[in-house]
Amino acid sequence: MPIANSVVAFSLAPALASPTQRFNPRLATSSFTSPQLQRSPDRARSTQRRAVLVTIQMAVDLAVMVNGVPGNMAAATAEEVVRRGLVLADEALTGPGVANSHFEAGGSKVSLSTPEDHTACLKRMKDKYPRLIVVDYTHPSAANPNVENYAKAGLSFVIGTTGGNVDDMKKAVDKSSDVYAVIAPNMGKQIVAFQAMMDMMANEFPGAFKGYKITVKESHQATKADTSGTAKAVVNSFSRLGLDFDVEDIEKVREASRSMREMQVPEEYITAGHAFHTYHLTSPDGSVNFEFQHNVCGRGVYAAGTVDAVQFLDKQKEKGDSTRLFNMIDILRIGGMS
Ligand SMILES: NC(=O)C1=CN([C@@H]2O[C@H](COP(=O)(O)OP(=O)(O)OC[C@H]3O[C@@H](n4cnc5c(N)ncnc54)[C@H](OP(=O)(O)O)[C@@H]3O)[C@@H](O)[C@H]2O)C=CC1
Ligand SMILES: O=C(O)C1=N[C@H](C(=O)O)C[C@H](O)C1
């Protein structure tokens, strides 16, 4: 009897060339009529009875480990990860002063790992999530040690934490063989565009503002430990435009009354998080003035940019791109911000 119905349906689980390789249903599922079964009907029937449909889910979802929760930026980023339908890793590094053992974002629960457990936690997450990108919004003092740990663990990362030594971070990435990273003091798309514009002006017209005076004033929530990393980056462009200014001269405003009075920060964002920056340039005789301002209330614009960076980095990694280190201006240029 022809074994017309002896079709064994099964799912193959071939070893993936790379853990980030996407699921291809055409590769995964095959149906065929075995020539062996055609020759031996009895065996075919028993095989048929025992035939098991095995479906192995090979789709490896992108998971994001957000370190620094329950801090402001990490919390906002974790919410954005869930909102975009990505997997939020179920553990995260936290700081020494955090008493909570868990954090929740958009219904996803995250166990918090305290400093003595950080190395083991990174290993657990790497083993658990084959396609993982780490986000770091921690503390200036933690930025470099964390980056060293990510690089040693072979974990690609997006770091928005400011106040660290960026050259050392880059070295850690270079030393690794397969770690991809985005390092940037500002993840907000339009502010990144502003940074890029100042950088381009400095490249095009070096010294154009020679002789001008500049004041830089930034207001943030009182818990911000360092001088704004964004302001430092913009000052670098101004220096190339001919302005004589040192990052030490950036005026930091951290008192609520001054933030509201001098910078017009709305009261509800005084502690919730704000970033108001004013750069004022005056010609030598005082007859010409320029003012550049970017004022951000809340954390939403940074969280969105951070997850753009995560998705961008994941793509580059999957492609095996030879460039492994990016800043947000690179990503904006390539069209990687939504
Ligand atoms: N690139 C960008 O676009 C932006 C960057 N930032 C930067 O992000 C950083 C965080 O800002 P923000 O969220 O407002 O700060 P918060 O103080 O609200 O949060 C920081 C969190 O990190 C925790 N932490 C401290 N050390 C470690 C560690 N070793 N490992 C893991 N977690 C740790 C802190 O815990 P504990 O209380 O114990 O110290 C705290 O919970 C700052 O450097 C800020 O400048 C902020 C906004 C945008
Ligand atoms: O700590 C903050 O809030 C912010 N930090 C970044 C910085 O230091 O420039 C970006 C933005 O200013 C908000």
Handedness of CA 94, 97, 99, 104 (dihedral sign): negative
Residue 219, domain extent: 189-298
Q: Which candidate, 120, 187, 129, 178, places its Cα nearest to that of 158?
A: 187
Return the pLDDT at 200: 98
**Active-site residue 274, yes or no?**
no
One domain for residues 86 and 163: yes
Q: List all residues whose CB is within 6 A of at least one atom of ligand 1.
A: 67-68, 70-74, 93-98, 115, 137-140, 142, 146, 160-163, 184-187, 223, 229, 302
Handedness of CA 15, 18, 22, 26 (dihedral sign): negative
In this structure, which residue's CA is closest to atom 1 in ligand 2? Answer: 224
- Residues 296, 302: Cα–Cα separation, whole Å: 10
336 and 323 Cβ atoms separated by less than 8 Å: no
Considering the domain boundaries, does residue 24 fall inside one? yes
Any ligand 2 atom below 6 A from CB of 227: no
Give me the CATH number covering residue 175: 3.40.50.720
Considering the domain boundaries, does residue 157 fall inside one? yes
Complex prediction ipTM: 0.99
One domain for residues 313 and 165: yes
Return the pLDDT at 266: 98
- Residues 306, 145: Cα–Cα separation, whole Å: 20
Return the pLDDT at 163: 97
Confidence of residue 57 (pLDDT cuts 50, 70, 90): very low
Q: Please state the pTM of the whole predicted model.
A: 0.86
Q: Considering every ligand atom, which ligand is closest to the CA of 299?
A: 1
One domain for residues 137 and 153: yes
In this structure, which residue's CA is closest to atom 42 in ligand 1? Answer: 161
Any ligand 2 atom below 6 A from CB of 72: no
Any ligand 2 atom below 6 A from CB of 327: no
Return the pLDDT at 116: 97
One domain for residues 214 and 250: yes
Return the pLDDT at 12: 27
7-11 and 29-33 beta bridge pairing:
antiparallel
Catalytic residue selected from 139, 217, 224, 294:
224
For the chain, what is the domain count? 3
Any ligand 2 atom below 6 A from CB of 186: yes
Considering the domain boundaries, does residue 81 fall inside one? yes
One domain for residues 142 and 288: no
Return the pLDDT at 121: 98
pLDDT by residue (tens digit) across 150-177? 999 999 999 999 999 999 999 999 999 9
One domain for residues 213 and 288: yes
Residue 323 in tokens:
């460039």
Q: How high is the mean pLDDT of the chain?
A: 87
pLDDT by residue (tens digit) across 3-54? 333 222 222 223 333 333 333 332 333 333 344 445 555 655 555 555 433 3
One domain for residues 107 and 171: yes
**For range 95-124, the mean pLDDT:** 97
Considering the domain boundaries, does residue 2 fall inside one? no
One domain for residues 177 and 307: yes
Any ligand 2 atom below 6 A from CB of 71: no
pLDDT higher for 297 or 14?
A: 297
